[in-house]
Each structure stands twice: as C-alpha cells, then as structure tokens.
Amino acid sequence: MSFNKIISPIKKDLDSVDVVIKNSLHSDITIVNQIANHIIQSGGKRMRPILHLLLSGLSGEISQINYNIAAILELIHTATLLHDDVVDQSTKRRNITSANIVFGNSASVLVGDFIYSRSFQMMSEINNMDVMKLLSDTTNAISEGEILQLLNIHNPNIDEQEYFKVIEFKTAKLFEVCGSLAATINNNEKKISQCAKIGRNFGIIFQLTDDILDYSGEAINIGKNLGADLTEGKITLPLIYALEKSNKSQQVTIKKAIKEGGINNLSDVMQVIEETNAIKSVENKSLIYLNEIKSLLDSFEESSYKKTVMELAEFSVDRKN
C-alpha cells in the first residue's frame, strides 16, 4: 500500500497542520522565510505530525490543539535538520541541495535557532505545563543525542548498546513524545505509557530503515548520497553487525573506512556488508520493534486509527525512501 493511501484517513487533519506550520514560520525577515520554506517544502513525509495525530485519535480524539502540537513537533524536527546539515557538512537533503549550501552555514544555524524558538513560543501559547515539560525534556534529549553522535564520529569501537543510546535520544525521543503528548492532551492517563512506547518503537524502526537505506538504497530514492553515514565517519547498525560477523581482514577494511571517512572505501565496505548479511540482521532487529508495536496496539479497541498506525509501522520497515 502506498504512503498516501495509508495516511488518507487523516489527510484533512494534516492539511490543517500545514496551515499552522505556514502561519507560524512567517517572519518580516526575508531570509528566514526563504530558508524555512526551502526545508519545509522539500518533500518531507511529516512522520512525526502524522504519528501524533494517529495516536491522538487512538487515545481519544483529534482537535485543534493537536494541530498546534503536531506543528510544533515538525518545527523541532526541521530545526534539527538545519543544524544537522551544517554539522555533517551535508550537500543534499531529500533530493534537493541542502539549505546550508544554498544559504550558507551561518544563516542555516540562525534560522534553525529561530524555528526552535518559535516552537517554544507556540508551546507557551498552549499553556499546559505537562506539554511544556514533555517537549522541553525531549528537545534537551535530542541535543544530547546529537552530541553523543558527534563524539562517536570516526570511532569504530562503538557497540550496539552505545549505538542504541544515541538513536534513543537523537531520533526515538521525538517520536516517543508524539505518543505521550497525544494521550496527555486527551487526559487518557492509562494510555500515556502505551502511546509513548508505540512512538519510541516507531522511531527506532524509522532510524534502522534509514541506516539500511544508506547502504542498500538508491540515491534518487533516499534523497541523499549513498554511504553518507560512512562518508561522515558515523558507525551505524549495519556496520556494527558487519564487524561482529566479519573476519580479521574485513574488520580492518571497515575500521579503516570509519576512521578515515570519505567515500574511497565505500565499495569495499558495502561488499563486506553483503558478505556478512548485515542488512538482513538489521531488518530482523526492526521486526522485533514492529512486533512490539503490534502487541501494544492489542490493548486498544479496533478503529481506523489503530489500523492505520499498524499499516504505517509496516510501511516504515519496508520503505525505500
């Protein structure tokens, strides 16, 4: 099933979220509008707003406040993308030239700060301390995850536990808060934990699929250069599993590539990944989290929201971009 078909039950809600995003990013400073529009309109799936809306429907109802929260979640994510691309010296994002290349690093960082601060303005307007605490704790965790990832650059000795600590903070936390906020706004205390866990597992699946696509996708589909993580000296789960299953010669190849970064060793590393069947191992790991989502959903009554959450999770495991 196509992505657009899966999310069709909440298409009108998503349109309402887009209106909030567009209105919230308006500035009298031209370059702010230019950079914000450049990245917001670059073809992102809006996965975090989508998950928040679905889990809101699952735990109660979708209302205007959910549109505002969904927009805040997307703004936080957008700000992290602007900052990430500067830190990673990226040249492409979603198949278009990244904002740091078009507008420069300084402008991208500062507009990222503007988008972050605008999201906190919107949080304060909601006037709910539970919402403020959840979102502020989450943004702090994301920053810690980014720092941890930076510290791990060019380090081939990162193990699976350390890797998951990074993605729990950097990626899964924002998905997790999509769920906890949904149940919190609906005053459904009994479902806060389940919704948060669904979001967390969803975020881990999403990151694992990104890691897989970096070594097995096609640049035109994934919207960035193949092997981008290796180029930046980042060790992800396919490499961790390849190292565990490889012989000494293959280990030397991978460790050398991680230490040096760049693309010179990419073809050799991809050959080791293929020979060790590392991609399949990561796919199997994703299925564990997918099955956990299915188990968590069993505690909810049947509904179109429940069905769509499961379809979206399955799509995220199998997606090609």
Tens digits of per-residue pLDDT, 243-267? 999 999 999 999 999 999 888 889 9
Containing 77, the helix (H) or strand (E) segment is helix 64-87
**Chain centre to alpha carbon of residue 290:** 16
The type of residue at 267 is: S
What tens digit of pLDDT does each residue of 83-137 get?
A: 988 887 888 776 788 888 889 899 999 999 999 999 999 999 999 999 999 999 9
Q: What is the pLDDT, as a whole number, of residue 84? A: 86
| DSSP secondary structure letter of residue 278 | H
Give me the long-range contacts of 254-260 (CB less than 8 A, separation at least 24): 254/156, 255/156, 257/230, 258/154, 258/155, 258/156, 258/230, 258/233, 259/154, 259/156, 259/233, 260/154, 260/233
How does residue 150 score in pLDDT terms, banded at 50, 70 and 90? very high
φ, ψ of residue 251 in degrees (nearest 5): -65, -40
Hey, what CATH topology would domain 3-318 get?
Farnesyl Diphosphate Synthase (1.10.600)
Longest CA–CA span in the chain (Å) reads 59
C-beta atoms surrounding 112 within 10 Å: 24
Q: What is the pTM of this model?
A: 0.93
Residue found by looking up tokens 């965790």 in the block? 141
